[in-house]
Amino acid sequence: MKEQRLINIKSLPERNYILILLVTLGIFLRFFNLGVIPGPAFDEVYYPVFALDFLSGKDYFSVHPPVGVYLTSISIYLYSVLPWTDSLISTGFEIENLSSISYRWLPAVVGSSLTYIAYLVCLQIHSNKNFALLVAFYFCVDGSMLVDSRFGLINIYLVFFGFLGLLFFLRMIKATGNSWHLLLSSLCLGLAIAVKWNGLGFLAVAVCFMLFLSFTRLRGYKFTTEEVIGEYSQRKALIPLIALTTLVYFAAWGPYFSKVGEMDYLNKHSQLLSFHAENTDEKTHPYESRWFTWPLVVRPMGYYFKSAENSVIELDEKTVFTSVHLLPNPVLYWCSFVAVIILGGRLMLSTAKLIDSKLIDSNYLFMFFVTLGYLGNFLPWSLVSRSTFIYHYQPSSGFAFLALAFLMTELIEDKKQFGSQLYLLILIMICLSGFYWIPLQLGLSITSDYFYGLMWFKSWI
């Protein structure tokens, strides 16, 4: 593959019709029949309820930092001031009196924007537009992020702020003296952590990547892309990045403490730590799954199901179910996991050569960044003893998508017939897989025969 500049993009078409199409598709998938599934469903019994408590001035206890609740509060409040909707006062701040759209529209907006953010991140780390469009497509059709974008949940905010923070971080390391990117990166990474603590994985990626650049330079290694890595890739921004991110995180608690009238960081964090460290459920959650099973899609999650006893519809003498499963695109997950393994193997082989040549090219930096991002967000879950779920894999899956797109772009640019055929085969399989399982992700009504046909494994039911 031709040597690519790391992050120097001089001229890309102003109007990218494929990208516009992907963003439009992402918006359609996330807003289609958004309010048809009645709420609250799944964990909507928590976050929108917490948001209503926050808006009404009541205290509440959440096992996560408060930014996810703030954003849900904003979503509900802005919807309530529309001229055709009921005011919050008239609902009595009760979840049953709210339209489900009120707490679902903002996650849908944020999830839709991830398609474009992923595209921009890709152009910063590997300036190949075909590669960036592939990643944007994966983010657009991934069933896990799609489903979480259609409910009043908070994990999609974590993924949004995490990748947005990395976008500004990558711009920072090339922009000598540009403190705005440092500030914006710190802001987004701090907000990611203030949604859920596993947002620390994104900060760890940024810190470790900066340490790698600094260490290799101190050891006399040369970069083939030296002109596009600015002085911020040295240690100058490391401490400010960590300090500002920490400041944003603690500042994010301000509105919560102002509502409850008591500022006690120590006690609050002691409660959260106690839950995450000690709350090992005696009773197994029906949809929990071990961290190492996530890339294989062993145990997807059921968010909503109309039971046959209560809501059977007769259509041509066939029973119809309405169900929503957080089911990732299986082909996309399986292929991207294989891609991460291949990329990791290539990174190790390249590292052995690197020690002798002391020359680092942009492809090596890309492989290091993606592998670091994947493992940094994935391996820490091996230490967690409480119930974990497949949606925790979303940050890691984003990096896996980068790995798959990188290898697929190599296939098509190699201009060999086998490579082109394999590229088309993988792409077609991902598209067919998305189309085949989309009823479970959008909550479409399907026959019971079709429903059970989608359940390829017993663990999926």
The answer, yes or no, to whether the previous bond of 40 is cis (omega within 30 of 0) is yes
∠ CA 186-165-303 to the nearest 5 degrees?
Answer: 125
Lowest mean pLDDT among 51-60, 144-153, 375-384: 51-60
Q: Which two tokens stand for residue 152?
A: 């009043």
Long-range contacts of 346-349 (CB under 8 A, 24+ apart): 347/371
pLDDT score of 254 more than 60: yes
Which residue has 């596009």 as its token pair?
A: 228
Provide mean pLDDT across the span 26-44: 92
The pLDDT, as a whole number, for residue 310 is 41
Supply the pTM of this predicted model: 0.91
pLDDT class for 387, splitting at 50, 70, 90? confident
Element (H, E) at 318: strand 318-326
pLDDT score of 397 more than 90: yes
pLDDT class for 447, splitting at 50, 70, 90? confident
Q: Which residue has the higher pLDDT, 297 or 127?
A: 297
Contacts of 290 (CB under 8 A, 6+ apart): 388
Give the pLDDT confidence of 48-103 residue by residue, as tens digits: 999 999 998 888 888 899 999 999 999 999 999 998 888 888 888 889 999 999 99
The pLDDT, as a whole number, for residue 427 is 96
pLDDT class for 177, splitting at 50, 70, 90? low
Pairing of strands 359-360, 222-223: parallel
The pLDDT, as a whole number, for residue 418 is 85
**Cα-Cα end-to-end distance for the chain:** 43
The pLDDT, as a whole number, for residue 215 is 87
Provide mean pLDDT across the span 390-410: 96
119 vs 182, 219, 414, CA distance in Å? Answer: 20, 33, 22
| Nearest CA-CA partner of 173 in 130, 218, 225 | 225
CA distance 431 to 179: 41
The pLDDT, as a whole number, for residue 353 is 86
The pLDDT, as a whole number, for residue 10 is 41
User: Using only C-alpha atoms, what is the Rg of the chain?
Assistant: 23
Give the pLDDT confidence of 219-245 residue by residue, as tens digits: 888 877 654 555 445 567 889 999 999
DSSP 57: T
